[in-house]
Amino acid sequence: MIVGFENIGLTYEDGSEVLRSVNFALRDGEFRFLTGPSGAGKTSFLKLIYLAHRPSRGRLTLFGEEVTDAPREALPAIRRRIGVVFQEFRLLDHLTAFENVALPMRIAGVNQAHYREDVRELLNWVGLGDRMEARPQTLSGGEKQRVALARALVSKPDLILADEPTGNVDPEMGEKIMKLFVELNRLGAAVVIATHDLHLVKALGKQSMRLENGALTQAETAARSEAWRANA
């Protein structure tokens, strides 16, 4: 099992309860959408998975190991198995697209000779082979999101999390980005995407779950649209 929540609760310091008694299991190779209204706690749910938040109660497991109270020094090794794509991109303006994608490897102390070709291949794969030396301020929203996706993949994670990855791009680019996530899932990565875009959820036909009032509910898999099937 990749991710396991057992009666997970999350309460902020001001006393507001974001999640209550949430149970959730994600297995190898699964693809899930997380939906729900603004403020429902979708981002907090993802932050629990990549250990930016710790649960207030309950039991959290990642990659078959309990990490509810994992010591701080154990977190980097766990996080290297998780790729995160943020809605706001979080690219560094003074770095090129290549350098932004390579940043996790640099931080990990990996010699550039060992990752240079991987970074080039990833940027080519997301359609930015001709923009490797471009800086974020010269990129469109869709290009920035694809750089962010490539950066999340550079460490070859087992799990990919995305928080509203189509929120800052037009519908056409949103479909292209979603197709990249589908391809990653086909290659073996587990994927969880938080989104408000129910059109894309329905188009892909992947299993979805809804977060509302602190509780998680399962939704039936939507029927995949013929238009999407034709273009996949």
Residue 199 has pLDDT above 90, yes or no: no
Task: Name the nearest CA neighbour of 157 among 60, 20, 49, 69.
Answer: 49
Per-residue pLDDT tens digits for 9-67 = 999 888 889 999 999 999 999 999 999 988 899 999 999 999 999 999 999 999 999 99
Both tokens of residue 17? 């309860």
Burial class (CB in 10 A: 0-12, 13-18, 19+), 70: middle
pTM score of the predicted model = 0.89
User: What pLDDT was estimated at residue 231?
Assistant: 53
Contacts (Cβ under 8 Å, ≥6 apart) of 95: 103, 135, 136
Cα angle 91, 74, 107; round to 5: 30
Across the range 167-193, mean pLDDT stands at: 90
pLDDT at residue 221 tops 60: no
In this structure, which amino acid lies at residue 3?
V
- Domains annotated for the chain, with CATH where assigned, are 1-81+157-232 (3.40.50.300), 90-156 (no CATH)
CA 41 to chain CA mean position, Å:
15
Mean per-residue pLDDT, 119-137: 96
Mean pLDDT of the 212-232 span: 61
State how far the Cα of 73 lies from the Cα of 23, in Å rounded to an integer: 27
Task: Tell me the two tokens of residue 51.
Answer: 């250990």
Band of pLDDT at residue 169, cut at 50, 70 and 90: confident
Mean pLDDT value of segment 149-163:
95
When computed from its CA atoms, the radius of gyration of the chain, rounded to whole angstroms, is 18
pLDDT tier at 202 (50, 70, 90 boundaries)?
confident
Compute the mean pLDDT over every residue in the chain, rounded to the nearest whole number.
91
Dihedral angle of Cα 166, 172, 176, 181, to the nearest 10 degrees:
30
- pLDDT of 224 > 80? The answer is no
